[in-house]
Amino acid sequence: MWEKVKRYTEKTLEENLKIADEEDRYIPKACSLKYYPLVIKEASGSTVIDVDNNEFIDFLTSAAVFNIGHNHPRVVKAAKDQIDRVINYTMAYFYEKQPIELAKKLTEITPGNFSKKVTFGFSGSDSVDSSIKASRAFTGRHTIMAFKDSYHGMTYGALSATGIVNQDAKKRLGVMDVQFVEFPDPYRNSFGIDGYEHPEKLSNNILKAIDRTISSLKEKPACIIMEPIQGDAGAIVPPMNFFKGLKELADSHNILLIDEEVQTGMGRTGRLWAIEHFKLEPDLLVTAKALGGGFPISATVGKAEILDSVPQPLLVFTHIGHAVNASAALATIEVVEEENLSERAAHIGKKAMDEFKKMSDSYPIIGDVRGLGLLIGVDIIKPGTKEPDKNTAQKICWRAWEKGLILITFGKHGNVLRIAPPLNISQEELDRGLNIIDEAIQDVLKDRVSDDILKFLRGW
C-alpha cells in the first residue's frame, strides 16, 4: 500500500516506505493509528529526523511524552548511570532506592495536604487499573463512573473506562461495565449551551444529570475517573467551576475522585498538574507519559489509606518501580522544576493560542481554539456550522508533514489539530511550526492536497 504514496508527494521516502511495509506485514493494525509513513531515526529537543534524513519540528512529542524534549541529557545520564550499577531488581521481594525516592518526591509535588502513598506501573493504562483496584478495595463497591469521550488506556480496566472507543468493539472483548456520563464541553454539548458564554449554566446542567444518574444506580460508584482536560477528545477544557461541584457531589455520595493526568501532567497545561487550575485535591492521581522523560513508567499517587486497602500482592508487577525508569523520572522532574517548564508552557502556550485565534479570523474552517498551556486543540469545521470536518483536518496534517512538521488530529470526531510540542521548544521553532500550519491550511483550501491521500490515513 505505502508504495502508492509516492504518487502524491515529492518527499524522499524510500527507506520510510520499506519499514512501513514491514510493519504492516508483522504488526497488527490494532496496535496503531497511523497518519503518514514516518520512521523515526533520531531525535533531539524539538527536532526529529526520519530514516530518509527528512527533518521535522515535533508538535506531537510522541503523544505528549517528551515534555522536556527528546533525549534530554540529564535523563540520558541518569539512565546510563543506573544501568552501570544495576538495571533492576524486583521490588516484589526486596528493596530499591530509586523508586522509593521517586515515590517520596511524587507525594511532595502532587495536590493534597494528607498522607499519601504511591504504586507504579509502565503506562497510563496499568496505573488507571491500579486506581480502579484501590477504589473498589477501599469502598467495597464495584461500580465505576467515567465520562463519555474520555481516553484512559487499553488494558482491560482502563479500556472499560474509556469513552471515546467504539462501544460495540469494546463489548466484543468483554470489558467491565462502566457508567458513562457527559463531560461539560463548552463548544459542543447535548444541552445546546454556549459554555464559553454561560459556563455556570453548563456546569449545573451536567452536575444535575450526573446526580440523577448516581441516584438511579443500584450501587453507588466506587469512583469517578476524569481527565481535568479531556485530551484525546480534542483538548476539551471544562468550565472552571465544574470540578469544584463534581468534588462536592462525589463527597456527598462517598465516591472517590480519580484525577487522570496521563496527558495533562508534568507541566503540559501551564501547571505541574492540570487539576491545579481548578483548585481541587483528588483522592487519587494517575500520571505517566511525560513522567519518565521517554522511559516507560507510570504512577498512582493517593491517600495512604486508599492504596493501603488493596490486599497483598494485588499491586505487584515484576518490574514495578523499575530502577532505570525511576532514575529517569527523578531526572525529568528535576528538569521540569529547574527549567520552570510549567511557567514556560503557560507563557508560550498563550502566544500559540493567540496565533491560532488570529488564524481563525482568516480561515472560517477553524471553529474553535481551546486548551491550556501547550495542550491545544484547533477544531476544524465546515464553514458556517459546527459540523466537524475530519477530512480537511487530516489533509492539513498531511501537508504539514510534507513541509516538515509532525502534526496529527485527535478528538471525538477526529477533526481537531493536536498541538503538543515540547515545553522547552524555542520560540523560533514554535513560530516555524505555526507558519507551516498556516501554509498547510492555505494549500488545503486551494485544493493543492488530493483527497486521495485520505486512504493512507488511519488516524483518530
- Pseudo-torsion of CA 133, 125, 298, 407, nearest 10°? -160
pLDDT at 319 over 80: yes
Instruction: Tell me the average pLDDT across 239-254.
Output: 97
- pLDDT band per the 50, 70, 90 thresholds, residue 167: confident
- pLDDT at residue number 3: 81
Neighbours of 219 (CB within 10 A): 11
Q: What is the pLDDT of residues 64-100, one digit of tens each?
A: 999 999 999 999 999 999 999 999 999 999 999 999 9
Closest listed residue to residue 143, CA positions, set 218, 254, 210, 216: 218
**DSSP of 177-218:** PEEEE----SSS-TT---TTT-HHHHHHHHHHHHHHHHHHSS
Instruction: List the beta bridge partners of residue 179.
Output: 145
Dist CA 66 CA 64 (whole Å):
6
pLDDT at 52 over 90: yes
- pLDDT at residue number 151: 97
- pLDDT band per the 50, 70, 90 thresholds, residue 297: very high
- pLDDT band per the 50, 70, 90 thresholds, residue 4: confident
- pLDDT at residue number 171: 87
- pLDDT at residue number 2: 78
Instruction: Tell me the average pLDDT across 280-292.
Output: 98
- pLDDT at residue number 445: 98
pLDDT at 216 over 90: yes
Q: How far is CA 282 from CA 34, 110, 301, 458, in A?
A: 35, 10, 10, 36
Quick check: 297 and 291 in contact, CB under 8 A? yes
* Non-local CB neighbours of 132 within 8 Å, separated by 6+ positions: 144, 157, 161, 222, 223, 225, 258
Closest listed residue to residue 235, CA positions, set 111, 149, 304: 149
Task: For the chain, give the percent of residues with pLDDT over 90.
Answer: 96
Quick check: 102 and 329 in contact, CB under 8 A? yes
- pLDDT at residue number 315: 97
Using DSSP, state whether 67 is helix, strand or coil. coil
Instruction: Tell me the average pLDDT across 227-251.
Output: 98
Instruction: Tell me the average pLDDT across 42-49.
Output: 98
- pLDDT at residue number 258: 98
Q: What is the pLDDT of residues 332-369, one digit of tens each?
A: 999 999 999 999 999 999 999 999 999 999 999 999 99
pLDDT at 24 over 80: yes
Mean pLDDT of the chain: 97
Which cell numbers in the block locate residue 448? 493543492
Q: What is the pLDDT of residues 91-132, one digit of tens each?
A: 999 999 999 999 999 999 999 999 999 999 999 999 999 999
- pLDDT at residue number 438: 98
- pLDDT at residue number 430: 98
Written as one letter, the residue type at 196 is: Y
Q: What is the pLDDT of residues 143-157, one digit of tens each?
A: 999 999 999 999 999
Instruction: List the beta bridge partners of residue 368.
Output: 379
**pTM of the predicted protein model:** 0.97
Start-end of H helices in 27-96 = 61-64, 73-85
Written as one letter, the residue type at 78 is: A
* Domains observed in the chain: 1-64+340-453 (3.90.1150.10), 71-337 (3.40.640.10)
Q: How far is CA 337 from CA 91, 222, 342, in A?
A: 28, 34, 8
- pLDDT at residue number 457: 87
pLDDT at 1 over 80: no
Which cell numbers in the block locate residue 124? 497510563
